[in-house]
Amino acid sequence: MKKDIHPKDYSFVVFKDMSNDYAFLTKSTAKSKEKIKWEDGKEYPLIKLEISHTSHPFFTGKMKFVDTAGRVDKFKNRYQKHYDKKGQ
């Protein structure tokens, strides 16, 4: 294995699934300006996730549509002119 290619600045970070409010504490090199108070009373950096193992259809066995960024609406707005022309 190559030497000196892995980061050395690991610290505790809270990852939070925004679709179901599940959060977990782990070590990571990810940086964040947001902070959250954890169960132990300490503050840790917060990384927001759109999906995790508690909300992903592969792990849950349920199909769930997650559109946090409004991607479907953005697509429809972008191609609305095309649909209007096609209808005439």
Report pTM: 0.62
Predicted confidence band of residue 88 (pLDDT cuts 50, 70, 90):
low
Tens of pLDDT, residues 25-77 = 999 999 999 999 999 999 999 999 887 777 766 666 666 555 556 667 777 77
**Domain spans of the chain?**
11-87
Degrees, nearest 5: CA angle 3-4-5: 95
